[in-house]
A and B are shown apart, each in its own frame.
Chain A
Amino acid sequence: MKSLMNKKRELNQLIKKFNAPYLLQDMSKLFISDKDLSENSHREVKGSKIINCTKKFKVPFYKKISKF
């Protein structure tokens, strides 16, 4: 299993190797934490917060926001 840190390293290697667009050259500026990424994390329901949604949900979620 590849760790998430390896994913970041892999991305940085790809960016360097293929000289990605300017926007990708500094990945740290594009980072949004899981906590801030999910609308559901902050939605109040009957006085209690919804438990952070699963990672599985978040993958399609950030793909959807690209269409906004």
Chain B
Amino acid sequence: MILVLSNSAFESSTDSVCDWLLYLEANFFRLNIDEIFNGRYDIHFDIVNDVLTITDTVNDQLLDFNDIKIVWSRRKSDKTFDSIIDECYYDSISFNRVSFARFLSMEKNTFLKVLLRKIDEHKWLDDFENVNNLNKIQILKSAISVGLSIPQTFITNNIHNVNSKNEFITKPIFEAMGFLGDGGSFITHTKNVGDINIKNERFIPSLFQTDIQKKYELRIFYLNKKFFAMAIFSSENKRTKTDFRAYDYKKPNRTVPYKLPELIKNKIIDLMTMLRLNHGSIDMIYTTTGEYIFLEVNPIGQFGMVSYPCRYFIEREIAVYLNEKSYE
């Protein structure tokens, strides 16, 4: 049995992988985290006897945790906190609303942790707690240790420690976030330090990296030592120059399939082995001076953006891999 952990909506890549699993006639159960709490599933967990049963009342399908051979996790946490706060879009946020959101979110996510930890670590394509514990800085340090080049990177709370502002970028230590504004949104994409007007000399510790002059960016989907790489020609577009995720939909960046050198592939395999990851989306830069610079790995990164333009059929690759693992 393959267990696919996802959400019920905005999961087109998961939907495609499930389509392939159906085509392969694989034995799988899709557990949508958001629907665990809306009554779709009958759940009973006898703590004393350690017996957990989940029944999908829509498909009349029983999930027996003992039958699980491999878990593919796209989503593993409940978004109650976000959804309750989102309802405040047109009104003010009260203390009780935030407290209620935090309480309900913690209750649900603690239950989910109990539920998911019932599945042995080795049965996960990538163990959920290992993924949760990874962070950008730890990954960069690991990249150095396997011989990959990274940008000069530091965290500081004082602007005077950033010598030449135009030569550095800043980005979140955690991950990007969006805030609502008038007629648009404020999104924390990577920005050049010189573009930011700041009055305070001090701020909470922030992440800075050298602004690498790039020929193109690389987005690489990795699955069990197989590589699906795409080059993104983002450097000529003012909007996407610093961060291709600031998409220009009117004039999209050109993207092409890309063949990585064996040396870089081997280093990435070493890195993923060190991080105990079997799959993930890797961001790199190919510089104007011909160097490969590693930026980060996102263990649950989107892959449709690589799969479709490059015709890699990554969804099929994942489905086949999961199916093979479910017979081991």
Binding site for B on A (CB under 8 A): 1-2, 4-5, 7-8, 11, 18-27, 29-39, 41-43, 55, 58-60, 62-68
CA distance A11 to B92 in the complex (A): 13
Cross-interface CB contact of A2 among B91, B189, B248, cutoff 8 Å: B91
A18 touches B204 (CB 8 A): yes
Residues of chain A within 8 A of B176, CB atoms compared? 65-66
Tell me the minimal C-beta distance from B184 to chain A in angstroms: 4
Residues from chain A with Cβ under 8 Å of B67 in the complex: none
Query: Do A7 and B180 touch across chains, with their CB atoms under 8 A apart?
Result: yes
Segment at the A interface, from B106-114, B141-149, B297-305: B297-305
Report the interface size class on chain B.
Answer: 35 or more
| B205 proximity list for chain A (CB < 8 A) | 21
Residue of A nearest to B208 (CB): A22
What are the 10 closest A-B residue pairs judged by CB atoms, nearest first? A62-B178, A66-B176, A22-B206, A33-B184, A21-B206, A30-B186, A42-B249, A26-B196, A4-B182, A25-B198
Question: Is B196 in contact with A22, judged by CB distance below 8 angstroms?
Answer: yes
List 18 contacting pairs A-B, 8 Å CB cutoff, sorted by A: A1-B90, A2-B92, A11-B181, A19-B200, A21-B207, A23-B191, A31-B186, A32-B185, A32-B186, A34-B184, A35-B184, A55-B89, A58-B185, A59-B180, A65-B247, A66-B187, A67-B300, A68-B302
Nearest CB on A from B82, distance (A): 7
In the complex, B23 has a CB within 8 A of chain A: no
- Is A4 touching B188 in the complex (CB atoms < 8 A)? no
A15 to chain B, nearest CB (A): 9
State which of A27, A41, A59 has its C-beta within 8 Å of the C-beta of B186.
Answer: A27
Q: Other than A26-B197, A66-B177, give 6 A-B pairs with Cβ distance below 8 A.
A: A21-B204, A22-B170, A23-B188, A24-B188, A65-B176, A65-B245
Report Cα–Cα, A22/B246, bound state, in Å.
19
The yes or no answer to B86 lying at the interface (CB within 8 A) is yes
Within 8 A of A (CB), among B80-111: 82, 86, 89-92
A18 and B175 alpha carbons, distance in the complex (Å)? 19
B159 adjacent to chain A (CB < 8 Å): yes
Pick the residue among A18, A20, A42, A62 that contacts B185 (CB under 8 A): A62
Assess whether B309 is interfacial by the CB under 8 Å rule: no
Q: Kindly state the separation between the CA atoms of A67 and B297 in the bound complex, as whole angstroms.
A: 11
B292-317 interface bits toward A, Cβ cutoff 8 Å, 1 = contact, 0 = none: 00000010111001000000000000
Set B89, B187, B298: member contacting A59, Cβ < 8 A: B89
With A66-B177, A67-B302, A68-B302 as given contacts, are A22 and B193 in contact (CB-CB < 8 Å)? yes
| B247 CB, nearest partner CB in chain A, Å | 7
Cα–Cα distance between A37 and B198 once the two chains are bound (Å): 25
Q: Does B184 contact A59, Cβ atoms closer than 8 Å?
A: no
Distance, CA A7 to CA B195, complexed state (A): 23
Alpha-carbon separation in the docked complex, A5 to B245 (Å) = 26
Closest A residue by C-beta to B176: A66
Q: Are A68 and B185 in contact (CB under 8 A)?
A: no
Q: How far is the CB of B74 from chain A (nearest CB, A)?
A: 10
Instruction: Tell yes or no: B202 within 8 A of A by CB.
Output: yes
User: Which single residue of chain B is at the shortest CB-CB distance from A4?
Assistant: B182
Query: Which residues of chain B are near A43, meaning CB under 8 Å?
Result: 249
